[in-house]
Amino acid sequence: MRPWPSIAAAALLLSAACSPFGGTASASPHPSPVVSPSPSPLLSPTPSPTPSSSPTPKPSPPPTSLAVYILSVDYGFIYAQTVAGSVCNARAIVPPGKDAAGISNPKGTDANGYVTWNYPTPPVETGTGQAFVSCSHNGLSGTTNAYFATGNN
């Protein structure tokens, strides 16, 4: 007797015993095709865009006015800010439409652009006053205003 048929039979029985299909071995007349993953297409390098000359951005036009801000105002006090090195003038109008006396002008801003005015506060009518600040720097100028209460408010 040849050893090959008995080895083949033993392998078949061992294979059937280890089968996930409940130990039943059946020979398929046609072997199942083995599905192999299809090769993925090779990625070709993405071409870099050809650099094109873009127009040089135009510089912003120079400012035509000076920004001036009143940060705090009250009857007798004006606190403003603009560009450092500016020269400023203040004015206050109190009821009934009179200029407040004693405001020292002109004044220069400090290194941070701040400027302050303190002026006398004689009794005036109760109402609303208005402060104006005008500044200039290197040929530019700007003005702003703010309201404040007067009298016994």
CATH of the domain at 84: 2.60.40.1220
In a domain, 125, yes or no: yes
Residue 99 half-sphere exposure, CB side, CA atoms within 13 Å? 7
pLDDT (tens, 9 = 90+) of the chain, 153 residues, equals: 455 444 444 444 444 444 444 444 444 455 555 555 555 556 656 666 666 676 778 887 777 899 999 999 999 999 999 999 999 999 999 999 999 999 999 999 999 999 999 999 999 999 999 999 999 999 999 999 999 999 864
Q: How many domains does the chain have?
A: 1
Q: Compute the distance between CA of residue 27 and CA of residue 16 in angstroms, rounded to an integer.
A: 10
In a domain, 30, yes or no: no
Q: Compute the distance between CA of residue 39 and CA of residue 34 in angstroms, rounded to an integer.
A: 15
In a domain, 81, yes or no: yes
Question: Which residue range is the domain that position 94 belongs to?
Answer: 69-150
Q: Compute the distance between CA of residue 80 and CA of residue 87 in angstroms, rounded to an integer.
A: 12
* DSSP category for residue 10: H
In a domain, 6, yes or no: no
In a domain, 99, yes or no: yes
3-state secondary structure of 89: strand
Helices (runs of H) and strands (runs of E) counted in the chain:
1, 8
In a domain, 29, yes or no: no
In a domain, 53, yes or no: no
In a domain, 128, yes or no: yes
Quote the pTM value: 0.60
